[in-house]
Amino acid sequence: METPPTPHPLMYIIAFPFRLFCMVCTKKSVPLHQILSRQYKMESTAILLFHCPDKLGIITEITKFITDNNGNIVYLDQYVDQVDGMFFMRVEWEIKNFLIPADKISEYIETLYSKRYEMTFNLYFNNKKPRMALFVSKMSHCLYDLLARYKAGEMDVEIPCIVSNHEDLRYVAEQFDIPYYVWSIKKDWSNKAEVEAAEMELLRKEKINFIVLARYMQIISEEMIEEYPHQIINIHHSFLPAFIGAKPYHQAYERGVKIIGATSHYVTTELDAGPIIEQDVVRITHKDTPESLVLKGKDLEKIVLSRAVKKHVERKILTYKNKTIIFS
């Protein structure tokens, strides 16, 4: 049996009202670690994300399919792109009493609706935790933040491995008892193909669903990107598309800007140009130095990356062309 994560002391205070509410409503005491690790939650659900050309009756058809088969809808959100005439939707329903077996739902949607509506869709289940690999280099701030949130139960994922091109952060992985793998890449990149082949072998062995580049300072190859399309999340230390490339805070200082930002995006073959998931900014002044900009930027990077990862884990992101639709 998996050992429950150890929560931060403050989490006991935060969780107490909900625990009390559960005791009053159910006359049962809910273990705190279940609240904090999100084990005490709704029934098993299916999550359908799709987009297609906008047509009359799509919502009616999909919701009728769910309710006719004894599914209870617990979430529905949709959006129409009036410029491109595209329809986007996320719907989640309980499958405890659903008449169609979970492993057959995708086939039904494909047969009944995919061709009819020219639909591109993905189907997920909330009882299958996504398996996330973290790629890091030497900077620890994003890694620590993600692992702390994971340990506190804020992210419903599994983290089977941390991959790096340096030994520097092994101690962090050991603190959280996560295997740490190092493949050094030569400055001339002469062994890069060999390194990525070994990394891909590990990712397949661990059945990794998506990758987070937590300040991993290497360019990902086309082969890996094609293996994980829109499943590699990067954090860039600037408000893209401004200040692409190295040392963006120093570029911002030289330019004399009044805000700096951070951007989390999916990785594509075009450097720092993939679909943007999350962004945020902080104001700066003429008194700031490159060093103070870096410190302010690191705080932003942690927050922006964690928001992006959380949305991805919750299956609330649809990609279309080079944009994202983020459901609430």
Spatial distance between the Cα atoms of 191 and 276, rounded to a whole number of angstroms: 31
**Domain boundary residue, one of 125, 149, 164:** 125
Residue 28's SS3 state is: coil
Same domain, 253 and 181: yes
Same domain, 59 and 22: no
Same domain, 9 and 112: no
| CATH number for the domain harbouring residue 308 | 3.40.50.170
Q: Hey, what amino acid is at 248?
A: P
Question: How high is the pLDDT of residue 255?
Answer: 77
CA triple 195-198-200, angle to 5 deg: 110
Same domain, 171 and 317: yes
Same domain, 92 and 186: no
Instruction: Out of 54, 156, 272, 299, pick the active-site residue.
Output: 272
Same domain, 34 and 76: no
156 is catalytic: no
Same domain, 107 and 147: no
Same domain, 144 and 168: yes
Same domain, 163 and 194: yes
Task: Count Cβ atoms below 10 Å from residue 283 Cβ, excluding itself.
Answer: 10
Question: How high is the pLDDT of residue 2?
Answer: 45
Question: How high is the pLDDT of residue 271?
Answer: 82
The reported pTM is 0.82
In tens digits, the chain (328 residues) has pLDDT values of 444 455 555 444 445 454 444 444 444 444 444 444 444 456 899 999 999 999 999 999 999 999 999 999 999 999 999 999 999 999 999 999 999 999 999 999 999 999 999 999 999 999 999 999 999 999 999 999 999 999 999 999 999 999 999 999 999 999 999 999 999 999 888 999 999 999 999 999 999 999 999 999 999 999 999 999 999 999 987 665 566 666 766 777 777 778 888 999 999 998 888 999 999 998 988 888 888 888 988 999 999 999 999 999 999 999 999 999 999 9
